[in-house]
Amino acid sequence: MVATPEKPVYKVIGTRPIRPDGVDKVTGRAAYGADIVLEGMLFGSILRAPHAHARIVRIDSSKALALPGVKAIVTNADFPRQESGTLDLGEGTANPKWLVDNVLAGDKTLYHGHAVAAVAAIDWHIAEEALALIEVEYEVLPFVIDVKEAMLGTAPILHSDLRTNVRARGVDTPTDRETNIAMHMRVEKGDIAAGFAEADIVIEREFTTSQFHQGYIEPQNGTAYWNQDGQITVWTSTQGSFAVREQVATLLQQPVARIKVVPMEIGGGFGGKIPVYLEPVAALLSKQTGRPVKMWMPREAVFQATGPTAATWNRVKIGAKKDGTLVAADVELCYAAGAYPGSAVGAGVMCALAPYNLANQRIDGFDVVTNTPKTAAYRAPGAPASEYAVESVVDEIARALDIDPMVIREKNAPEEGTTNSAGAPLPRIGAKAVITAIRESAHYNSELQGEDTGRGVALGFWFNGGMESTSSATVNPDGSVSLILGSVDIGGTRASLAMQLAESLGVPYEQIKPQVTDTDSVGYTAVTGGSRTTFAGGWVAYELGQEIRKRLVERAARIWGVDASTVTYSNDAVITGTDKDGKAQQFTFDEICKRFPTTGGHVAVTVSSRKNTTGPAYAGHIADVKVDRDTGKVTVLRYTAVQDVGTAIHPAYVEGQIQGGAVQGIGMALQEEYWYDDQGRLRNGSFLDYRMPVANDLPPIEVILVEVPNPGHPYGVRGVGEAPIVPPMAAIRNALRDAIGVNFYHTPVTPTRILDELLPRE
Amino acid sequence: MATSERLVITSTINGEERTFLADSRDSLLEALRERLNLKGVKEGCNNGNCGACAVILDGRLVNSCCVMAAEIEGSTVRTVEGLATPEGLAPLQQCFLEEAALQCGICTPGFLMSSTALLAENPAPTDDEVRFWLAGNLCRCTGYDKIILAVQAAAEQMRTLKK
Amino acid sequence: MQALRYARATSIDEAVRMLREGGETSRILAGGTDVIVQARERRRVIDLFVDIKHISDVMTMEYDAQRGLTVGAAVPLYQIYGDANVQRVYPALRAAAHVIGGKAIQGRASLGGNLGNASPAADSIPAMMVLDGVAQVAGPNGRREVRVDAFCTAPGRSVLQPGEFIVSLHFAQPAAHSGNAWERFIPRNEMDIAVVNAACALTIEGDVVTAARFSLGAVAATPLMVPLAAEALVGRRLTDETIAAAGAAAKETATPIDDMRGTVKQRKHLADVLVQRVIRAAVEHARAN
């Protein structure tokens, strides 16, 4: 671990305790969304569209309703009518009209697998059987999958009401024309013409990336009970219980006061479990039947209908001086949002050039609708594709100028005060520290062995989120502290937040009892996403600790009959002072807690805070690969992920985040992708043919933690979860160039594509 | 139209004889989860490609989604719920916690059952053997590293216990 | 899951009767790793599973140095790859059985099931084909034998008549100085459908190949025998050139399609590469015998 001198000595932070939810998870007792059982519960199932694009002419549910055991069938028409608007989901926004049409299709189905109707029945077999009895007449329409084709004037139009002012190449397009381009954004700084004029070398390349799925192992689920008093309870696996409440309230046009969302344990999300799919449908079915309704998605439906990433087409032009100084960049990003607008192109734009201090730049981003599932956030949403393109071009520039790839990155690295693409200055960041750690690493200084082997590097940037969090803490007479969290725990935040409260109080971690609770039992808390929870939730934990310290000091002062200002609370949780008789007194934390019942009651505090000071994360990865020229197979020989994590609260969980993110990135780099047939149907919606890495596809992922404390956090925390998925695509692509001399411009680089390059053209 | 039957099935589950009612079209996964309420058995894909539903059937590792419930009449089934004893967690369970081998935890029951089967057959596997054996279990959170470490740590503990 | 019933047969005759009574929508349930998923995903209409795993003939494996190897149709793969005789004499079979699905699949999946499912990409079929495999089939008209290399007729289809099922598979004892091998190419290192798989069984005298059989999977509508590759090798000395000629013959014979798992160009090339690899491995095995 590389620590900066500023890191103080902590007692709890930096240790590796066992997570509070651990025992339940290794014994099978942890209750995930699909594990809920309610008295009288019905089972729901969803009928999905077989076409890429079709108008729904007629739905006849009569035969299905006649099947014994079927209790209700709903379609889009059963939802209240929605107008267009904006709903903030934390990591992205949603338009209620589009959201409801995605949950159950309106007049058109816009992608293969789009939900059309839902059944509730007394068991899951009957619910599924009923689907086959629902008759749907479709008028099949022309479709478009490819993002560039979708942007053409001749493309089939998904939404007849979409109009966008596009200013590409300085020309405004008419805004009275139907289009699939949902949004055009441009970010500029400096003077790119002047910048390119200074350049000794200019490289311009085009890149495409396939669609990738988050690939959480737990399918989406949702259970709802619409009580006769109008109260709606929703149990679900979600990254944001309040985001679910907001969406369900909007789609059902019910006040939030009527809705309680109970977040169950969540089996992975990676951004994909923020939008609702089943919850509002289960609620409607429950309303019609008066019984709780549980739904869960078959895996194929998860691939067909829940948020993959955008497939992208990107153009990057970068100019550099002979010494490697980057002087200008012109970037164009086109992201396929899927059936409804709202890809992560905005974040793609802001991240594309973030690893560099580059004075003259212009980035255009296009959000484009296509006949593919509505995209959702996926770990550093939007960033991997844009940074992959930039990191590939920088690699080609380094090669052309014969400069070490890390030297060129060091030369152009951003630091505190460097402005980002929008011209705002960066806070203290660890880009240079990461680069130094790579250059000094054993891996980077090792020799590559064997034929057809290569090494690649790439950097990655992610903003990290802030936003709103709430927690409550109750101090018990035995000295334990119940910590109530609004943030759902997707990968260890119960532990990381409890550790920060323990640190703040100066008590052992074991005394903190964290618990995630429902939306009626804690204040508003944004989604667990954007790498924000350990950062922003940690702020709250810290403030809870400070407030408890203050209350305990006041309590001691009252017991001793003195003014609170004369009493101190040490970092070892010892309260010291002098009583009114002038006698030195002290309480340990546990001692004062024991006195609660007789000295004014228990101490309970709640803190809400909104933190918009975030600590951006920089990552840099080193990949060694070997290519089998006969088969096109790539073996990742060695892989190292380096990242500035600010302060590693629980280093093992931080490493785990980085390893997991890196492996998802390796999957995108080499083997994962959506595959549509010539009818626009997704053909590989299974874990067999959507090839996520398996255990023996990978070497150990070595992790080097760099700690440049974030000045915007009491413990220096930066979010860590997302940055590690950014570098792998470019690191591996650059390693392949090193191994076999081929520059690839599409990812994933599958054996098929490698052989295609290596074999003679036919 | 085709019909299903209601079946009364008796088998030994986690050491206890259980008799339960099932539909003839229930998979073992469905029977364990929905009829016997053994919710530690997880559904990840329902077609044999993720290992989240892995259980040990008559001593062999199987994906319970690829077994019919009716087949287990007279058989012995072991699920994640059967790993711990009143004395405490099994070494694999303890090592998964200590090595931080789980994040979301949804794949953990399957990994534990698969690893249990591995160590029963091969008490001293190499890392490559562990990775090969566990290739039928998908984990999307950890990148597998810490899982491999946990299995090796448990193997070591179990070998020491035997001595 | 579609509505269906389950029946357990305890003898071959009983299974035949159950299948006859069940009609065309009844299916044998061996390891179930394909057929249960097909029933669930409604890729086959099935209303009766006849479980044959309680019939001893389909669950036993026998090896004899004279008569060769007989494997019950439902013997799970782990027993096959774990068998010392299979490892020693039939490494092609061992190799395929070792990598079909993951360990939890191998606890159940069987050769009979893999053959009966008749997938063009089935991993064990090319191995069984080069090993001269013969399937014992039982049905309403009694028993008959079907050669594995004549079994598959189209994707998912075979010469089995309604009511017939595979009881066991027989593999002759290879001649002296024989070797066999199997390989596949998959993008992942496990848990994948073969882009191409290939098997070879050959006999050598010194450096000369006296007999050879080749089979390829995933390059046509059914697993293919590749007589042209055998012709390129038999009667010739083993050299890089003759091995390459056999590979080229495999490439010529392959008539693959473009699909999500691979392209024509890739599959034809891999047919060549894998055939050369299995020749070298089979020769090594033969020399060790």
Interface touch B147/A32, C-beta < 8 Å: no
Asked whether A494 and A19 are in contact (CB, 8 A), the reply is yes
Q: Is there a single domain that holds both residue B137 and residue B156?
A: yes
Q: Work out the minimum CA distance from A230 to partner chain C, whole angstroms.
A: 35
B141 falls within a domain: yes
A598 falls within a domain: yes
Residues of B in contact with C101 (CB under 8 A): 48, 136
Residue A164, token pair as written in the block: 């966008």
Residue A91, token pair as written in the block: 């990591």
Interface touch C103/B49, C-beta < 8 Å: no
A606, with CB counted inside 10 A (0-12, 13-18, 19+), is: middle
A738 falls within a domain: no
Q: Work out the minimum CA distance from C8 to partner chain B, whole angstroms.
A: 8
Identity of the residue in C41, C191, C260 whose CB atom sits nearest the CB atom of A683: C260
Interface touch C1/B133, C-beta < 8 Å: no
φ/ψ bin of A341: left (φ > 0), alpha (ψ from -120 to 50), beta (otherwise): beta
Residues of A in contact with C266 (CB under 8 A): 632, 751-752, 755-756
Residues of C in contact with A125 (CB under 8 A): 1, 3
Identity of the residue in C3, C103, C190 whose CB atom sits nearest the CB atom of B2: C3
Range of the domain at B63: 6-82
The Cα C219–Cα C195 span in angstroms is: 8
Q: Is there a single domain that holds both residue B74 and residue B104?
A: no
Identity of the residue in C42, C188, C262 whose CB atom sits nearest the CB atom of A691: C188
Residues of B in contact with A698 (CB under 8 A): 131, 143-144
The side-by-side arrangement of strands in the sheet containing C61-64 is C61-64, C68-72, C165-171, C134-139, C142-147
Q: Is there a single domain that holds both residue B78 and residue B101?
A: no
pLDDT at residue A174, as a whole number:
65
A561 falls within a domain: yes
C187 in A contact zone (CB under 8 Å): yes
Q: Where are the domains of chain C?
A: 5-51, 56-171, 178-288
The Cα B148–Cα A513 span in angstroms is: 29
CATH number for the domain harbouring residue A522: 3.30.365.10
C129 in A contact zone (CB under 8 Å): no
pLDDT at residue A171, as a whole number:
55
Q: Is there a single domain that holds both residue B11 and residue B73?
A: yes
Considering B63, B82, B101, which residue would you say is the last residue of a domain? B82
Interface touch C265/A630, C-beta < 8 Å: no
Interface touch C189/A694, C-beta < 8 Å: yes
Torsion angle defined by CA atoms of residues A517, A523, A529 and A534, in that order, rounded to the nearest 10 degrees: -80
CATH number for the domain harbouring residue B100: 1.10.150.120
- For residue A84, CA distances in Å to A53, A98, A100, A635 come to 22, 8, 11, 49
Q: Is there a single domain that holds both residue B77 and residue B97?
A: no
Interface touch A217/B46, C-beta < 8 Å: no
A157, with CB counted inside 10 A (0-12, 13-18, 19+), is: middle
Q: Work out the minimum CA distance from A366 to partner chain C, whole angstroms.
A: 28
Interface touch C102/B65, C-beta < 8 Å: no
**Cis check: omega of the bond before A748, within 30 degrees of 0:** yes
Interface touch B142/A28, C-beta < 8 Å: no
Residue with tokens 């050769």: C111
Asked whether A481 and A544 are in contact (CB, 8 A), the reply is no
Asked whether C100 and C118 are in contact (CB, 8 A), the reply is no
- What count of CB pairs under 8 Å joins A to C? 57
Strand partners, B57: B60, B77
Residues of C in contact with B66 (CB under 8 A): 31-33, 36-37, 104-105, 108
Chains near A with 3+ CB pairs less than 8 A apart are B, C
B142 falls within a domain: yes
For B105-139, write each residue's pLDDT tens digit: 999 999 999 999 999 999 999 999 999 999 999 99
Interface touch B108/A34, C-beta < 8 Å: no
Asked whether C281 and C181 are in contact (CB, 8 A), the reply is yes
C40 in B contact zone (CB under 8 Å): yes
pLDDT at residue A94, as a whole number:
76
Mutate to test the interface with A, among B23, B66, B68, B145 (most CBs of A within 10 A): B145
B1 falls within a domain: no
- Report the CATH fold assignment for C178-288: Enolase-like; domain 1 (3.30.390)
CA-nearest residue of chain A to C196?
A: A631
Query: Percent of chain C beyond pLDDT 90?
Result: 98
Task: Give me the number of domains chain A comprises.
Answer: 1
Task: Give me the number of domains chain B comprises.
Answer: 2
Predicted confidence band at C177 (pLDDT cuts at 50, 70, 90)?
very high
pLDDT at residue A1, as a whole number:
43
pLDDT at residue A531, as a whole number:
85
For C135-176, write each residue's pLDDT tens digit: 999 999 999 999 999 999 999 999 999 999 999 999 999 999
Crossing angle of helices C264-288 and C91-99, rounded to 10° = 130
Residues of C in contact with B117 (CB under 8 A): 103
Identity of the residue in A633, A694, A752 whose CB atom sits nearest the CB atom of C263: A752
Asked whether A334 and A342 are in contact (CB, 8 A), the reply is no
B16, with CB counted inside 10 A (0-12, 13-18, 19+), is: exposed
Interface touch A631/C273, C-beta < 8 Å: yes
B72 falls within a domain: yes
Identity of the residue in A125, A696, A752 whose CB atom sits nearest the CB atom of C189: A696
CA-nearest residue of chain A to C4?
A: A125
CATH class of C5-51: alpha beta
Interface touch A755/C269, C-beta < 8 Å: yes
pLDDT at residue A517, as a whole number:
97
pLDDT at residue A3, as a whole number:
46
- For residue C203, CA distances in Å to A337, A635, C104, C211, C287 come to 59, 34, 35, 5, 10
C268 in A contact zone (CB under 8 Å): no
- For residue A110, CA distances in Å to A368, A682, C18 come to 14, 13, 46
- What count of CB pairs under 8 Å joins A to B? 181
CATH number 3.50.50.60 is the correct assignment for the domain at C56-171: no
B-contacting residues in C 179-208 (Cβ below 8 Å): 188-191
Residue A373, token pair as written in the block: 């599932």
Mutate to test the interface with B, among A214, A663, A694 (most CBs of B within 10 A): A694
Interface touch A656/B43, C-beta < 8 Å: no
Neighbours of B104 (CB within 10 A): 29
Interface touch B106/A218, C-beta < 8 Å: yes
Q: What are phi and psi of A747, to 5 degrees?
A: -125, 140
Residue A464, token pair as written in the block: 């990290």
C-contacting residues in B 3-62 (Cβ below 8 Å): 3-5, 7, 24-27, 46-49, 51, 54, 57, 60-62
A485 falls within a domain: yes
Identity of the residue in B45, B80, B131 whose CB atom sits nearest the CB atom of A687: B45
A480 falls within a domain: yes
C195 in A contact zone (CB under 8 Å): yes
pLDDT at residue A2, as a whole number:
46
pLDDT at residue A4, as a whole number:
52
Range of the domain at A22: 6-28+466-611
- What count of CB pairs under 8 Å joins B to C? 104
Q: Write out the DSSP string of A210-274.
A: ---B---SSPPEEEEEE-TTS-EEEEE--S-HHHHHHHHHHHHT--GGGEEEEEPB----TTTTS
The Cα A180–Cα A159 span in angstroms is: 7
Identity of the residue in A132, A630, A697 whose CB atom sits nearest the CB atom of C188: A697
CA-nearest residue of chain C to A128?
A: C1
Residue stretches of chain A with pLDDT short of 50: 1-3
Helix count (H) and strand count (E) of chain B?
A: 5, 5
B35 has pLDDT over 60: yes
pLDDT at residue A611, as a whole number:
80
What lies within 8 Å, CB to CB, of B60 at 6+ separation is: B117, C76, C78, C107, C108
Q: Work out the minimum CA distance from A125 to partner chain C, whole angstroms.
A: 6
